[in-house]
């Protein structure tokens, strides 16, 4: 007791402290177990029964044994479209907020805009997409509508991760660039962005993983059906994605093996999201360790 006399009070405090420490560790262990159990449940139900032809076959409406080919393709296609639109704008917005934005009321307003936009529920973006594409342009539920709506959902998150990544770049590096007479945009492109790139790529992967599994937006904008062809690059065909297919199969489908299809789809979804998160970050992580 560090030379202090132990009283009843301090003894109780010591005891409570020990109990609390054990309690915190138990809580941590339980939560970790819950997470691993969750991942194990999802993956173990679907992956062992997974055959390669499930990934490329057409879905069936009536007979058992349908696959997820077109919906898996649509998932990646819509993800690609949404990133194609949102990454340039999201990066630009993040760079502006980190490098250019002066400390004034206008910037404050911009910041409120970004934060508000990132708090907009995904279902509202779906309704926006529905209003723009299905009502205003009257093209119905399409891959293009899904991709654009998803891009809008990604924007604020991309802007935020870019801003954080760019802000984390040390000021001396920029000053070294300015001292060589470089212009501001030149410094950003050739000095700041390469340094911030690993954090930005990590951020883009997070956004991509979220977008890949997003369903509320896609249900409203790309619909619950596919065109029925495997490699359909037409932007105006209906574009059911894997996440939406999971919803459709478990709620509306009448095939007898709906449960297995749903299990397998969930496993593929989680697997791809984890894959996106790990594989793209792995080289960066290796690079960081070598330094």
Partner 1 sequence: MGAPVHGLATRGKESITKVSANPKRHGRHLFSNKLFKFYFLFSILALCFVLGLVILFIGKTAMLLFGHLSPADFFFSFNWTPEEDSFGAAAFIVNTLSLTALTLLIAVPISVGMAVLCAEIAPKWMKTFIRPVLDLLVGIPSIVYGYIGLTVLLPFLRRVSGESLGDGLLAAALVLALMVLPTICRISDDAIVSVPRKYRDAAYALGSTRLQVIMRVILPAASRGIISAVILGMTRAVGETMAVVMVIGNTPQLAKTLFTPASVLTSNIVMQISNVEFDSTWNYALHMMAFLLLVISFVLILIIRVLGRKRRDAA
What span, in angstroms and rounded, lies between the C-alpha atoms of 16 and 58? 61
**Site residues (CB under 8 A) for partner 1, limited to 34-53:** 34-36, 38-39, 41-42
* Residue placing its CB nearer to partner 1 in the complex, 186 or 229: 186
In sequence order, which residues have a C-beta less than 8 Å from that of residue 149 and are 6 or more positions away?
125, 126, 128, 129, 133, 217, 218, 220, 221
Chain residues 128-167 in contact with partner 1, contact rule CB under 8 A: 128, 130-132, 134-135, 152, 155-156, 159
Distance CA(84)–CA(78), nearest Å, equals 10
Among the listed ranges 21-29, 49-57, 76-84, 168-176, the one in contact with partner 1 (CB under 8 A) is 21-29
CB nearer to partner 1: pick between 31 and 173:
31
Instruction: Residue 118: name the closest of 163, 167, 79, 154 by CA.
Output: 154
Site for partner 1 in 165-224 (CB under 8 A): 183-186, 188-189, 206, 209-210, 212-216, 219-220
Tell which one of 191, 192, 200, 270 touches partner 1 (CB under 8 A): 270
CB of 241 to partner 1, least distance (A): 10
How many other CB atoms are found less than 10 A from the CB of residue 231?
A: 8
Q: 146 with 125: CB under 8 angstroms?
A: no
Binding status of residue 11 toward partner 1 by CB under 8 A: no
**Residue 283 interacting with partner 1 (CB under 8 A):** no
Q: How far apart are CA 79 and CA 205, in angstroms?
A: 11
Considering beta carbons, is residue 121 or 283 the nearer one to partner 1? 121
257 touches partner 1 (CB under 8 A): no
Least Å distance between CB 287 and partner 1? Answer: 18
Q: How many residues bind partner 1 (CB under 8 A)?
A: 90
**Closer by beta carbon to partner 1, 42 or else 235:** 42
Question: Which residues 55-114 are close enough to bind partner 1 by CB under 8 A?
Answer: 88-93, 95-97, 99-101, 110, 112-114
Name the one residue in this structure whose structure tokens are 């479209």: 81
The contacts of residue 56 (CB under 8 Å, 6+ apart) are 67, 69, 230
Is 162 or 237 the residue whose CB approaches partner 1 more closely?
162
Tokens 């299905």 locate to: 134
User: Which residue pairs, CB below 8 angstroms and at least 24 apart, start in 163-172?
Assistant: 163/94, 163/95, 163/97, 163/98, 164/98, 164/199, 164/203, 165/94, 165/196, 165/199, 165/200, 165/203, 166/94, 166/95, 166/98, 166/99, 166/192, 166/193, 166/196, 167/98, 168/196, 168/199, 169/195, 169/196
> Please, which residue, 38 or 229, has the CB nearer to partner 1?
38
Q: Minimum Å distance from CB 58 to partner 1?
A: 21
Q: Among 54-62, 191-199, 227-235, 271-279, which window interacts with partner 1 (CB under 8 A)? A: 271-279
Residue closer to partner 1 by CB (options 167, 229) is 167
Q: How far is the CB of 7 from partner 1 (least distance, A)?
A: 11
160 Cβ contact partners less than 8 Å away, ≥ 6 residues apart = 94, 114, 118
């Amino acid at each position: 007791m560090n030379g202090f006399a132990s009283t009843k009070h301090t003894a109780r405090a010591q005891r409570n402290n020990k109990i609390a420490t054990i309690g915190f560790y138990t809580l941590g262990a339980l939560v970790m177990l819950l997470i691993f159990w969750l991942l194990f449940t999802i993956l173990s139900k679907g992956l062992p029964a997974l055959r390669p032809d499930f990934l490329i076959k057409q879905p069936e409406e009536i007979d058992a044994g349908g696959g997820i080919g077109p919906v898996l393709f649509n998932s990646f296609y819509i993800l690609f479209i949404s990133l194609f639109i949102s990454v340039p704008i999201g990066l630009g917005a993040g760079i502006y907020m980190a490098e250019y934005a002066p400390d004034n009321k206008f910037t404050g307003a911009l910041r409120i805009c970004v934060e508000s936009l990132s708090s907009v529920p995904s279902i509202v973006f779906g309704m926006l997409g529905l209003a723009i594409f299905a009502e205003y342009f009257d093209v119905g539920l399409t891959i293009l509508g899904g991709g654009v709506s998803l891009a809008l959902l990604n924007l604020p998150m991309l802007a935020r991760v870019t801003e954080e990544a760019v802000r984390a770049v040390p000021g001396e590096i920029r000053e070294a660039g300015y001292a060589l007479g470089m212009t501001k945009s030149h410094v950003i492109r050739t000095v700041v962005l390469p340094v911030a790139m690993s954090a930005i790529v990590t951020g883009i992967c997070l956004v991509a993983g979220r977008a890949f599994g997003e369903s509320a937006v896609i249900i409203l904008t790309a619909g619950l059906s596919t065109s029925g062809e495997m490699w359909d690059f037409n932007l105006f065909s209906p574009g059911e994605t894997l996440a939406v297919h999971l919803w459709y199969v478990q709620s509306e489908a009448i095939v007898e093996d709906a449960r297995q299809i749903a299990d397998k789809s969930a496993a593929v979804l989680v697997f791809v999201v984890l894959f996106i998160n790990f594989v793209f970050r792995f080289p960066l992580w290796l690079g960081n360790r070598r330094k």
